[in-house]
Structure 1
Amino acid sequence: MISIFIIPFGRLIYLPIPGFIGLKYSFIFSIFIFLIWVLTQNFKLKSTILLSLPFLSLLSLFYIENYDWILYYDYIEKAGIDAGNITGTTESSLLRVVSIFILTAYSMVVYSALVDNSTRIILSARVFVIATLLSSIIGCIIFSGVFFGLVSINDLEPISVGSPHVIDDIFYRFNPGSNVNEFSMIIAFALFLLYFAHFSKYFTFFISLIFIICEFATLTRSSWIGLLLGFLIPYFYYKKSIFSIRFFLIFFIFLFLFLTFYHSSPFIQNLIDTRTAFDIGVSGSDRLMKFDYVYDSLVASPFRLFFGFGWGTNLYVHNVYLQILYELGLFGLIMTLVSLFTFTRGIFLMRNSRYKPPLVGIFIFIIISFLMQHLLYHIQLWFVIGFIASAAVTFKSTKFYTP
């Protein structure tokens, strides 16, 4: 539960050691969790299917495009606006293999610890939601500090992944301790996990409003789309669920807040216009160039098309499917997707209940996020994958809930 609690804090909890500031404490702690589990407990057999991804990534190092990339090297952006430039980061394909092994192993621990134990599932959901709430409160303090000129961009460097994302030195894109896109996903996961936390109606409603406002402040369109579809699709499929009632209540309140913010100032209005426009902008053009590069590189070689260029060789495609396709090829992508679906398929096999819509919603959100972000190395993703797989098995025979 401690390992779950520290996930939403990201780099708000960091190691003040030169060269290790960017290493999240939650990732380090997950290593100890894995080691303790190996020494004291057993993994559920079903969870071992997740090991297919680290196995394939390790295998790919034998035919990696450049063997120098296995150890430390200066990462050069392969495509996009910064193509051919050194990003300023040091990479290692071998360490990336180790990282994905640790993350999938942590997901195995989560599944093994929670499956068939509804008390632990509820507790873990509460822990994650409360931690996200506390992290968001810290984020609100940072947001206010930036807005009133009390916090500078330099002050944010130790606790912000990448650039601090401050617009016009006024608007702090909400990301306490994380990349802005990453924290938007943490908030989204917390919104879905509220259905498992079993808080009181009023407390749930209060937290939901805070999370929605913070989600809006991230200005991350991919999470907005994922959340919208993650709520809407289960609603139309499971029309009798309490999930729908809460959704529409929160939706109308959000719409009211959105319109209020929109008309509050020309700056906010322009900000919203740019984030909701159909124009893909510079960021979208950059990603399209990266997508084209993946396609052109793979079709040039049948071997690379089926087996890829090696793990950790194209990290910032902003599309998990294309990233795995480039690094592990068509065979690796199919194997990875089959493994993930097999691990979580209990969501679609369980009976209709109050828990099925949010589980389906999380699954949809992950699918959408895979299309637009590079979240393969985010520990919250692997926690949630372990959570939804265990919850689906645990609540599979629960009768339909009628409010």
Structure 2
Amino acid sequence: MLILRKIQYFLIYCFVFFGPLGTLLTPSFMPYAFRFYHFFLLLTPLLFFRLKTDQWKTVLTFVPFLAYCLISAYFTHNKEVDRDAYPLFRAFLFVSQCLFMFGAAFCLEEKARGRLIRLYLAGFLISLIMGYTFYLGYYSGKISFATLQKYSVETQMGWGLLRFSPGTYPNEYGNVSSFVLAILLIAFAKKPRFLLFVFASLTFIALLLTTTRAAYLSFLVTVIYLCMTSRSARKVVIQFSVVCLLFLFILKYYSIDFFTIFINGVKAISLNYGSTGVRFTEWIKGAVELNGNVFFGNGFGANILTHNIYLELLYELGIVGIVVLVVTLVYFFSQTRLRRLSPITIVGLIHVFLFAGSNHNMHHHLTWFTLLLLSNFLFQKDEASAFSNRSPLSLPA
């Protein structure tokens, strides 16, 4: 029993730690978008040993919806879809991450959440260091663009700059950077430390360099939430904002004008041109296709370019799939206790649900990490241990 518990915890810790590293450690023979943490999903059955009856009941609640997705993906596989769709692979990945998330949530005790946050930050810090190494190497002429492509899902230029994206693609890394920055501000508000400030500053610069508007929006909403709910966090946000503005003005003096870059990015928003125009076109295209498949949808994985998870689920699964999903979620939350969520969990949910409105994060590690924190919080019966902190980063998740 003790050995099994240690194996389960080790598996969960690896999932959390390696998640932010994305493809940085992925062997070259694997598909370019295969994240290293995907390997640990293969061991998901180990998390389901010795589950209780009510825990199995929760898992079985989601089986109809997961089965619907797999069946839908099977029929999509035989259709003509986007070359990067891989509907069956996406469906199996979706099911695997969902089951892993539930298994991990059942295994973990509340006191382990602080360690999860620290491991996540440690993994992100390594990716951050690698990102700056790549970035400085590229602009110093020592690392080629082709080399950068080997260590990311998609290497891009945006608004005249190389977009910061070690181990993934810029939009995903931007959202993760915003999430991490919010955690660091929460931690700094509890106990100010110089290293935390340095970590937060480097993360803020990385967030800027991703040039991801969706991540900027998530961070703005998160800052508003923190300012409205915590006086200490509000004070830290104000102080950090002043320092960041001074830094940006210094960069502007040296001809790195982020203000102009950001304004140009806002001006680039158009329903006819650029990424916004592409999204709008795909929304219309998906709606037209759905018109002929309104009940069962266009098929799981058929509309991966929609860049809106809510519309994508509707287009791909149809009315029947959406009804199954809604009924499943309503029943699931009716079986859990209503509890006050902690700041980090809420911050994670802000980033997941806002980002889903303009991007595709169904398979992102941050999505499932946030749902892991949420599920573990909902499943626990004892709240007392959630408020015992050993360090500024061992906050209740």
TM-score relative to the length of structure 2: 0.81
User: What whole-Å deviation, never above 9, does each CA across 1:75-113 have from its counterpart, x for those lacking one?
Assistant: 43xxxxxxxxxx5x4x43222221111111121133123
Q: Which amino acid aligns with 2:360?
A: H
How far is the alpha carbon of 1:346 from its aligned partner?
11
1:272 and 2:262 equivalent? yes
In structure 2, what is the equivalent of residue 152 of structure 1?
Answer: 144
Secondary structure of 2:176's aligned partner? helix
1:386 and 2:372 equivalent? yes
Question: Which of the numbers 101, 111, 117 marks the counterpart of 2:110?
Answer: 117
In structure 2, what is the equivalent of residue 296 of structure 1?
Answer: 288
Indicate the larger mover: 321-330 or 355-364: 355-364
1:210 and 2:221 equivalent? no
Question: Which of the numbers 45, 68, 75 marks the counterpart of 2:78?
Answer: 68
Cα pair distance change 1:333/1:200, threshold 3 Å: same
After TM superposition, the structure 1 = structure 2 runs for residues 253-264 of structure 1, keeping only pairs within 5 Å, are: 253-264=243-254
Q: Distance in 2 between matches of 1:337 and 1:190?
A: 30
Question: Which of the numbers 118, 129, 134 marks the counterpart of 2:126?
Answer: 134
Equivalent residues of 1:347, 1:360 under 8 A apart: no
User: What whole-Å deviation, never above 9, does each CA across 1:242-285 have from its counterpart, x for those lacking one?
Assistant: 33333333233333333333453166554333223373341111
After TM superposition, the structure 1 = structure 2 runs for residues 161-310 of structure 1, keeping only pairs within 5 Å, are: 161-162=153-154, 164-167=155-158, 171-194=161-184, 195=186, 200-202=191-193, 203-236=195-228, 238=229, 240-265=230-255, 268=258, 270-277=260-267, 279-280=269-270, 281-298=273-290, 300-301=291-292, 304-310=293-299
Secondary structure of 1:95's aligned partner? helix
Equivalent residues of 2:130, 2:166 under 8 A apart: yes
Cα pair distance change 1:333/1:260, threshold 3 Å: farther
In structure 2, what is the equivalent of residue 37 of structure 1?
Answer: 47
Cα pair distance change 1:186/1:334, threshold 3 Å: farther
User: What whole-Å deviation, never above 9, does each CA across 1:143-198 have from its counterpart, x for those lacking one?
Assistant: 10111121111111221113x11359x83211001011111122233234444799
In structure 2, what is the equivalent of residue 13 of structure 1?
Answer: 25
Secondary structure of 1:149's aligned partner? coil
Q: Distance in 2 between matches of 1:228 and 1:347?
A: 31
Q: Distance in 1 between matches of 2:279 and 2:268?
A: 15
Equivalent residues of 2:48, 2:103 under 8 A apart: no
List alignment gaps of at least 5 residues for structure 1.
Answer: 77-86
Cα pair distance change 1:197/1:266, threshold 3 Å: closer
1:4 and 2:16 equivalent? yes
Cα pair distance change 1:389/1:258, threshold 3 Å: farther
Secondary structure of 1:313's aligned partner? coil
Cα pair distance change 1:201/1:234, threshold 3 Å: closer
Cα pair distance change 1:177/1:331, threshold 3 Å: same
How far is the alpha carbon of 1:366 from its aligned partner?
1.5
In structure 1, what is the equivalent of residue 316 of structure 2?
Answer: 327
Cα pair distance change 1:188/1:269, threshold 3 Å: closer
Cα pair distance change 1:186/1:339, threshold 3 Å: farther
Cα pair distance change 1:250/1:101, threshold 3 Å: same
Equivalent residues of 1:319, 1:374 under 8 A apart: yes
1:350 and 2:361 equivalent? no
In structure 1, what is the equivalent of residue 5 of structure 2?
Answer: none
**C-alpha RMSD of matched pairs (Å):** 3.4
Q: Distance in 1 between matches of 2:94 and 2:81?
A: 18
Indicate the larger mover: 220-229 or 44-53: 44-53
